[in-house]
Every structure is written in structure tokens, then in C-alpha cells.
Amino acid sequence: MTQYHQEEDMIEDIAGGEFERIPVPQSKLKGWKSFLGMYAGEHAAGTEFVIGPLFLTAGVSAFDLIIGLLLGNLLAVLSWRFLTAEVAVKNRLTLYFQLEKISGKNLVTVYNLANGILFCFLAGSMITVSATAVGIPFDMPMPKLTDTMPNGVTWIVIVLAIGAVISIIAARGYDTVSKAANYMSPIIVLAFLACGIVALNQLGVGSFSEFWNIWGEGSDPFPGQIKYTFWHVVIWSWFANAAMHIGMSDLSVFRFAKKASSGWTTAAGMYVGHYMAWIAACLLYAVYLQSPEAQALISDGQAPSVAPGPLAYNAIGVFGIIAVILAGWTTANPTIYRAGLAFQAIIPKVSTFWVTIIAGTIATLAGLFPAFAMKLLDFVAFYGFILAPVGAVIVFEHFFAKKYGIIKNYAEHANIKFNKSVLFAWAISFGLFYFISIQFDIFLSFVTLPTWIMCGVLFLEFSKKFQKQ
């Protein structure tokens, strides 16, 4: 490419304001307040309405939940602050461009495909969440905890309708959607808080000891669920957003930060969303478990539904229905948009509108199957496990390349489209620890950190070997 064309591309990037293929200039950097609201809003969302109750189905004790979440979320904040934000402010590049420089364009294409599909499945689970609220006036049978397939025509029609609306809005105007999400976030946070307070009243809680006794020493997990201990809660909550922090996806966010200390703002998301909102949603489910309907299901050996719509409606009425719809909508919309961008990197000749419609269609079809929402704890663990090791390549190169004597951004330096050091490091670490997890029935989140470390170390070793050649 000529110098003229490079400069022309640079001007286009700056004009678009996204700086996708150049470092963010000094004039466009933002202070910590710009990130505070974004993280608080993004992490008090539709997923929280499902994750909270699922902790209760896993038989957690009070100590495991309350202290475990406190520690796990702190580890997540530290990961964002000292890894993601630190790398982001040094290079000021998106994850995709940073990865392209290291691994080459062809490998990034594979990553984009995996990322896009996983985003679609996550968005699909949020369409499922919204559908449980929309279905209330239609007296729709709610999906059970063990359901995998659609449970009726009403369910299918509602999911398809919600998916169509969300996909079209995401495809037509993300700016409007993101602004609307910022306005809606305080409403959703308020709804979680109100749900928690009302649920405590419904449970007759008048002291901290009574609050503690809601979970007590824990219980047996529900049918089809595994028992969560203290370490399950800590490690799972640490890696619930593994793709974003140790997986480096949020390089794209923090490249706009003036200082790496902006990484501390993620605490707003972790302690408003992943702490207060999860516990509030858990309390809603505790109320439902005392109902005759839930007791009948339990005595029959079945797991009661964790459908967010009815849970929120029972606590705060119509406001609960609205909050669940908004929470699902504000999560699914940007997720579908991100999936569309990942697909567009693979098929650049297709317009943003149509790749987003494709992503929305996949997400809507996924939303028809309640398994993605009902098994959200497992799915989120798997999502992080697949994508997190890719971030190790960026982190280990950033901190250890000079010490290890390897060339940084090797694909760009050597003008190659496929850096086999990256592929081998990811494939060996992923394959080995996934096999260990399946073979010895080890909780997947427990092997995420060893996989991440091994991928980083192997990347350095392979790079040293292949770069010499």
C-alpha cells in the first residue's frame, strides 16, 4: 500500500470517529466519568435476572454467595484495571486490530467468526428473557429450568416478534439504541433495587440474620444443576466476563481512557450489577420458591422455572414486566450489533445493515431454545473459556516480549496473514484443559486461568522458536 493510500485511510478513520485501524489521538481521550455510567448500565442487564436465581438452584450457602461474590467481583475489577486498561492506554488499539498485528488477518477472521456466533447465542438468551415478560398478558406457559426446546406456538410467535424488532433497531441505528440504553439503565438499576426490597418484605426479613438465613448453610442443587461451593462462586463471578477483561475485548473501550486508572470504574458494573442485581434477583426467586406452585413442583422432583418476567411481575407488578423487557432489550441490542461487526470483518462487502440482520436472525433462532437462558451459568463459563486465552497472547506479548527477546506485532512485521505461534498456543491450551474438564468432570471456570496462562507461555515459546527460523 502506498503512503498516500495509508494517509487517506487514516483520514477516513479519524473522520468516522472510531479509529479502528489507528491509535486513538490524544484529543479524543475521555476521563473516568465517561466509563462509570457505561459499566454500571451494561452490567445491570437482562442476564442478571437469570443468573441470580440460578445461584439459588445450585444450592449455594449465604457465605458462599455473599462473600464469594464480593471476592470474585473484586478479582474481575483488578483484571480490568491492571491488565485490560494497562494494555489499552499504552497501545490505544481495538482488540481486533491489535490481534491482527500479532496473529495475521486470517487468524483474526476465525476469531471473529467464533466471537460473532457466541455473541448471537448470548443475545438469544436475552430475547428469551424479554419473552418471559411479554408472555405474561397472554398467559403463556413459561420455560422450565430443564427445558431445551420451545414449549408452544405462543412462545415461538413472541420470540420471533421480539427478535425481529430488536434486529431491525440494531441494524438501523446503533447510536440511538446506545443513547436509549443509557437513559434506561437507571430505570433497570432502580427496578433491581425495588425487586430486592419488596422480596425482602415478602420473605418477612427484618434483620441481617434473617437475611443470611435465606440461604443458610446451602441446600442440595435442583435437578440438572451442580452444587456450587464458595470457590465455584468466586471463580465463576471472576470469569463471568473473562472475554472482556483477561480476554482483552475491552481494549476497544479503554483505548479512549486518559489513564489506566479508569479501569477502576468497572467496579460500578461489578457491585451494582453483578452483586446487588444478582442478589436481588436471587431474592425474587426465593419468594417464588415459597409459592404453592413451586412447592408442588419441588415435591414432584421437578425444578421450578426461573423465568424472569413472572418473578419481577410478582414483586413490582407492571413495572417489573417493563424492567425485564428493557433489560433484555438493552443487552440484546448492542450484543447483536457487536456480532454484526464481527461478521462484517469476515464479509466486508456486505453492508452493516445486512450483517446485523444476519446476526439478529441467528440470535432470534437461538432465543427460541430456552436452554441458552436456563443454562446461562454454563454458557457464560464456556464463552469465557474459549475467548479468554486469545487475550493471553496480547498480555504476554505486551509485558514479556522484550524480556523474552521476541518481535512484537510479528504478523505485521513479517507481513504474514497467519501466525502459527498464536494458533498452536491457543489450540494446545484449549484442547488440553477442555479434555481435563470433561474427563475428570471439573467445573469449566476452574480451568480458565490455567488455560489462559498456558496459552500465554506457549505463545512466547513458539514465537521464540518460529521467529528464529
Is the pLDDT reported for residue 113 higher than 80? Answer: yes
pTM of the model: 0.86
Cα 360 versus chain centre, distance: 17
- Mean pLDDT confidence for 425-448: 94
Residues 433-442: tens digit of each pLDDT: 999 999 999 9
Q: Distance (Å, rounded) from C-alpha 87 to C-alpha 380? A: 24
Is the pLDDT reported for residue 1 higher than 60? Answer: no
Q: Distance (Å, rounded) from C-alpha 259 to C-alpha 22? A: 18
Is the pLDDT reported for residue 46 higher than 50? Answer: yes
Contacts of residue 348, defined as CB under 8 A and 6 or more positions apart, other chains included, come to none
Looking at CATH, the fold of the domain delimited by 28-377 is given as: Hydantoin permease (1.10.4160)
- Mean pLDDT confidence for 1-27: 51
Q: Give me 195's grid cell.
A: 425487586
Q: Distance (Å, rounded) from C-alpha 306 to C-alpha 284? A: 10
Q: How far apart are the first and last CA of the chain?
A: 27
Amino acid 231: pLDDT: 96
Give Rg (Cα) of the chain. Answer: 22
Amino acid 6: pLDDT: 40
* pLDDT band with cut points at 50, 70 and 90 for residue 177: low
* Mean pLDDT for all residues in the chain: 86
Amino acid 314: pLDDT: 84
Instruction: Output 300 or 441, whichever has higher pLDDT.
Output: 441
| Range of weakest confidence among 26-30, 195-199, 242-246, 417-421 | 26-30
Give the Cα-Cα-Cα angle 414, 418, 419 (nearest 5 degrees).
Answer: 70
Residues 353-372: tens digit of each pLDDT: 888 889 999 999 999 988 88
| Contact of 449 with 385, CB cutoff 8 Å | no
* pLDDT band with cut points at 50, 70 and 90 for residue 15: very low
